[in-house]
Homo-oligomer: A and B are copies of this chain.
Amino acid sequence: MATIKLRDLEYLVAVDQHKHFGRAAEACFVSQPTLSGQIMKLEEQLQLQLLERHKRSVMLTPAGEVLVREAQRVLQAAEAFEATAESLLDPLAGDIHIGLIPTLAPYLLPHIMESLRQELPKLHFFLYEDRTKKLLRDLNEGRLDVLILPYLDEMESFERYELFAEKLLLATPADHPLAKKKSVTLQDLEGERVLTLEDGHCLRDQAMGYCFAAGAREDQQFRATSLETLRYMVATGMGVTLMPQLATLNRQGDKGICYVPFKDPAPNREVCLLMRPNYTRTPVVRKLVANLRQSMSAILDK
């Protein structure tokens, strides 16, 4: 039997966030004495000191730190409850929090958001960009509703909808011998210096896999933090790289760099949508998937 109150947990979290009773109260739309009083009652109820009232600022005690994290979980679950209730009222309304990886988001979103907004006008989109590992954790713990990313085996515990296959192209300096070819094979990479992203990007792991298999060597000296940096490094002649198809659309004119397709079977990544198996808002997800598939087949199939 739960004896705590959600409101009290909100107060506690707010104090943690603002480190200031007045501003925390403001954020909760209550007066400062109200918030102070409730926090004190909570401390009394738990028989634990949660806050260190300092001369000029508020600090959390170690116990407070621990309980704030627990409180956030509770509030998260409560918000999920309310979001589900809202979605039952109108299955296509409410908020949705979508996670994407950095090598996909900026190149994918421009192609899909307009159509999504039109088809789901009452849905508010919140977009998050992070690496696979963090996204999976956030999805699992309920901070995100769905992910859009290339599929890996470690994702099998989630429910998956395949969206599209994105080919990888070879990006070479314009004056590179391979730049003249209509198409290349992985074998052509043998001996090439391949530039890659820094650790944690799934594209890096994938590209390294292909390079290694083809006998190319990874450049050990430089690690790009984004695809755009990588593109710049290739354009200045430092080496070649594998570039996802969406990041090459309408970029064939770029000076200093060429994008050469691979002969079939071209290396590619299977982009899919992931959700928790018990996620309740399936109508929205179905719409999302259908819309994304349509948008992407219009762009990629030609």
Q: Are B10 and A48 in contact (CB under 8 A)?
A: no
The CA of A184 and the CA of B46, in the complex, are separated in Å by 59
Answer yes or no: A89 CB below 8 A from chain B CBs.
yes
Q: Are A81 and B9 in contact (CB under 8 A)?
A: yes
Give the residue name and chain of the B residue nearest to A78 (CB). B2
Copies of this protein in the assembly total 2
A74-B74, A81-B73, A84-B67 given; A4·B6 CB < 8 A: yes
Tell which of B5, B67, B75, B81 touches A70, judged by Cβ atoms closer than 8 Å: B81
Kindly supply a per-residue 1/0 record for chain A positions 49-85, scoring 1 wherever the CB is within 8 Å of any chain B CB and 0 otherwise: 0000000000000010011011101111111111011
Answer yes or no: A88 CB below 8 A from chain B CBs.
yes
Tell which of B6, B70, B79 touches A280, judged by Cβ atoms closer than 8 Å: B70
Q: Are A63 and B46 in contact (CB under 8 A)?
A: no
Q: Are A4 and B84 in contact (CB under 8 A)?
A: no
Q: Are A66 and B280 in contact (CB under 8 A)?
A: yes
Kindly supply a per-residue 1/0 record for chain A positions 1-41, scoring 1 wherever the CB is within 8 Å of any chain B CB and 0 otherwise: 11111110110000000000000000011000000000000
Answer yes or no: A220 CB below 8 A from chain B CBs.
no
Tell which of B7, B28, B73, B278 touches A80, judged by Cβ atoms closer than 8 Å: B73
Q: Are A89 and B47 in contact (CB under 8 A)?
A: yes
A1-B10, A48-B88 given; A74·B67 CB < 8 A: no
A70-B280, A77-B74 given; A3·B84 CB < 8 A: no
Chain B residues with Cβ below 8 Å from A66 are: 84, 88, 280
Tell which of B5, B69, B76 touches A6, judged by Cβ atoms closer than 8 Å: B5
Give the residue name and chain of the B residue nearest to A79 (CB). B2
Min CB gap A23→B, angstroms: 16
The CA of A79 and the CA of B71, in the complex, are separated in Å by 10
Q: Are B80 and A46 in contact (CB under 8 A)?
A: no
Chain B residues with Cβ below 8 Å from A81 are: 4, 9, 67, 70-71, 73-74
The CA of A76 and the CA of B2, in the complex, are separated in Å by 9
Chain B residues with Cβ below 8 Å from A77 are: 70, 73-74, 76-77
Min CB gap A65→B, angstroms: 10
Kindly supply a per-residue 1/0 record for chain A positions 133-163, scoring 1 wherever the CB is within 8 Å of any chain B CB and 0 otherwise: 0000000000000000000000000000000
The CA of A70 and the CA of B70, in the complex, are separated in Å by 17
Min CB gap A155→B, angstroms: 12
Q: Are A78 and B74 in contact (CB under 8 A)?
A: yes
Chain B residues with Cβ below 8 Å from A10 are: 1-2
A-B pairs with beta carbons under 8 Å apart, 15 shown: A2-B6, A2-B10, A2-B82, A3-B82, A4-B6, A5-B5, A5-B6, A46-B88, A63-B88, A66-B84, A67-B88, A69-B280, A73-B80, A73-B81, A77-B77
A residues whose Cβ falls under 8 Å from a Cβ of B? 1-7, 9-10, 28-29, 46-48, 63, 66-67, 69-71, 73-82, 84-85, 88-89, 278, 280
